[in-house]
Structure 1
């Protein structure tokens, strides 16, 4: 591996999702020995202000904290940046404008993962934070790839998705499975061919119970595969 192919991971949003990203990055990398793995440095800063609150409730702007992390990763020698937080991509343009390093976009990674799962276009479901869905991060970016996005109803968000994400952040992962699985089933009942787990806490909850009987796009795995592709290019 060439020395300059160091991956920078801008994490802490939340900490468990960032740790899981590092685990999946390791497990998905074809390797026979330590030296075959991808050099990576994780900047895990849970002090970044809440992204959903910033976008829909007038909360503190997270961009200064995100840029602080990017500067730290630059100083550490990163050659590209992965951000295992979907909602943080609402500030993607501001972050990318502040660095010469390429930032791997998690929605593009999800689109590639959907194609790998045999769903290259069509109607899909997207679960995520209220902030991610309000910013239409998936709806807008995936339209050019031939996807139409269904999202949970306001009631499903309030009763199922948002509380389940909060359970993961409290480290009560098993309690999040049932509501997340129910929300995903509602999306497939309305015509989704696959469901994107568009918050990096959601795959942790879904993994805590039986596998769902339809294609599921894990955005932690999707971003890890994109990072591996970048490092091996």
Structure 2
């Protein structure tokens, strides 16, 4: 049983982690309690701000991330999921510090693009300024044939970044109009799908009408990857 216990390194933010647990449960093909995935959630909102750290304006989050990994190891987990895109800027350092496999959220998003039938070509990616600056999606998806286009700097400042902050402050409904506007702008520039590459963004997008083009919810994508690991 221990090999099948999923560890969730969360708290970045707490609402995204809670949504990950909800979606993991709802997406799991189970008919009774005992068929669900044993999971340990380590939700620590004290992890220093990942975007501030990557942009040279804040404390390094790695020590706190590693503390969470050690806690999940001690709890008997067999793999780790991290429902925070920007934290994957420290993926290599985290993976080097643990014997447990860490499911990569960008790989999960790529699998979700394939599942939705999105052919290689131009796609949009929304995320924090740090996630986009670190090229987490652009570089990892290029090898699979997807060309990532991003919101313009003015769109990030006016639409995306304030909306992520609103979700983190539990003002989810007000995040929908600006996030939807940014996603539509990417579609208008030729994106055949839009990856919601920050786990706050799907929460804001879900607060309003569905968009008229494919979107990849990275919370759902990571949950599907975790289910695949647990059921393998």
Structure 1: where are the runs of 5+ without partners?
Answer: none
TM-score (norm 2): 0.99
Aligned pair 1:86/2:85, yes or no? yes
Aligned twin of 2:161: 162
Measure, in 1, the Cα distance between the counterparts of 2:57 and 2:14: 23
Aligned twin of 1:180: 179
Aligned twin of 1:143: 142
SS of residue paired to 2:3? coil
Per the TM alignment, residue 4 of structure 1 is displaced from its structure 2 partner at its CA by 1.9
| 1:82-121 equivalence runs, <5 A | 82-121=81-120
Aligned twin of 2:11: 12
SS of residue paired to 1:196? strand
Tell me whether 180-189 or 111-120 shows the greater mean CA deviation. 111-120
Per the TM alignment, residue 58 of structure 1 is displaced from its structure 2 partner at its CA by 3.1
SS of residue paired to 2:4? coil
Per the TM alignment, residue 151 of structure 1 is displaced from its structure 2 partner at its CA by 0.4
TM-score (norm 1): 0.99
Per the TM alignment, residue 57 of structure 1 is displaced from its structure 2 partner at its CA by 3.0
Tell me whether 92-101 or 2-11 shows the greater mean CA deviation. 2-11
Structure 2: where are the runs of 5+ without partners?
Answer: none
Measure, in 2, the Cα distance between the counterparts of 1:74 and 1:221: 24
Measure, in 2, the Cα distance between the counterparts of 1:27 and 1:3: 22
Per the TM alignment, residue 3 of structure 1 is displaced from its structure 2 partner at its CA by 3.6
Measure, in 1, the Cα distance between the counterparts of 2:92 and 2:118: 28
Per the TM alignment, residue 59 of structure 1 is displaced from its structure 2 partner at its CA by 1.1
Please tell me the root mean square deviation across aligned C-alpha atoms, in Å. Answer: 0.6
Deviations 1:128-148 (A, max 9, x none): 000100100000000111110
Aligned twin of 1:216: 215
Measure, in 1, the Cα distance between the counterparts of 2:2 and 2:30: 17
Per the TM alignment, residue 120 of structure 1 is displaced from its structure 2 partner at its CA by 3.5
Measure, in 2, the Cα distance between the counterparts of 1:63 and 1:174: 32
Aligned twin of 1:63: 62
Moved over 4 A (4+): none
Aligned twin of 1:36: 35
Deviations 1:187-232 (A, max 9, x none): 0000000000000000000000000000000000000000000000
Measure, in 2, the Cα distance between the counterparts of 1:51 and 1:218: 20
Measure, in 1, the Cα distance between the counterparts of 2:109 and 2:131: 14
